[in-house]
Amino acid sequence: MERSQPPASAYCENQVLSLNIESSHGFLSSSLRYRSFIATYSHGRSKVQLQVRALQQPWTLSCGMVAVVVDGAEEAALRADNKIPPWTTDIEDSYVNFLQSDQAASLFDQMTNDEYFKFGKDKWHDYESEALLSKELLAAYNAETAAYEALVGHQGKIVPRLLGKVTFDLPPETPVPSNMLDHIQVKGILLQYLPGFTLSELDQHVPQPDWQGVIDEAVRITRTLGDLNILNYDVRPSNFMVVPVVNNEYQVFIIDFGWCRLRQAHESDAEWGRAKWQRDEEGAVGLVMQHRLREKGYEYKFEHSLRYLEWAPGEDD
């Protein structure tokens, strides 16, 4: 039976995984030729087999791999945050039975529309906890893919290229209704590999005279997200990749959009501006790196744009 949310132990080095892939903007066929994948490609869809080269542990919300599977890193963090017990076959059986029942659709609707629903989760059945986990993982996948679609003109420049959306080729032994498949399938994205290091490791790989410019570029990228109406709740130095190019030059990319959203059509300038101000994405990288490097005797010169200052909460708010 397919594991709806496999634990980290379900994967190992040299394991071969079979994925169904929907290519993105024509990048897939040309990119797979040199990535040692076994692939068949037809009409925008393909089936590939890839070998796990390395596992990065402990699991975090940003794993450095070409295939970013929305079940390992996010699942571990969400289980911990929501105090959901570790996956077992008994829990999975309970969850699959739930998906086959008439109450599944109504429970997912309630989770979506009732903001107080989670307050009673200490009394939930295991299948309800798994349903919440599935819903949040699916939301992370949808947020990530929506962000890459919004950033299509910047892929390969400030974000990796999205090569395709993937689904593990593991049909469940016990059939579930078609409208419940999204809540049992393991989904992910196939990204351009970035041969570099995170911004958190800047001092270990980059000469000090270049620190200012590299961090400035990361800050500039957060401002570009604002230009494109993207709000990222998870901006931090470890979610930037720095790739050496030539002659002490570096290209900076932002990764991991599982916790982000796009501006809504009904959102006013004031509502959007306040949300952006309260999150302070450029400070989440500029101020944080300034503090870290100050401890190493280096003063990074960070100047906040104050772009959303006019929508900051006032004394009456």
Query: Residues of CATH 1.10.510.10 domain(s) within the chain?
Result: 197-311
Going 113 to 118 to 123 to 125, the CA torsion angle's sign is positive
Q: What average pLDDT values come out for the chain (317 residues) when binned by 10 residues?
A: 43 66 51 34 53 54 46 66 81 89 90 77 82 88 95 96 81 81 85 94 97 98 97 97 93 96 97 97 98 97 96 78
The residue whose two tokens read 């892939």 is: 21
Task: Check: CB of residue 40 under 8 Å from CB of residue 47.
Answer: yes
Tell me what pLDDT residue 84 has.
80
Q: Does domain 197-311 have CATH number 3.30.110.30?
A: no
Segment (H or E) for 109: helix 103-113
Give me 262's structure tokens: 């796009």
Helix (H) or strand (E) holding 163: strand 162-168
> In this structure, which amino acid lies at residue 234?
D
Q: Read off the tokens for 131.
A: 């349903």
Q: Tell me, what's the pLDDT at 39? A: 36
Among residues 281, 237, 258, which one has the least CA distance to residue 76?
Answer: 258
Mean pLDDT of the chain: 81
At residue 176, the pLDDT reads 87
Sorted by sequence, the CB contacts under 8 Å of residue 214 that are 6+ apart come out as 199, 202, 206, 242, 250, 252
Residue with tokens 């970013």: 68
Regarding beta strands 162-168 and 187-191, do their DSSP bridges make them parallel or antiparallel, or are they unpaired? antiparallel
Per-residue confidence (pLDDT) for residue 233, from 0 to 100 = 97
Amino acid occupying residue 251: Q
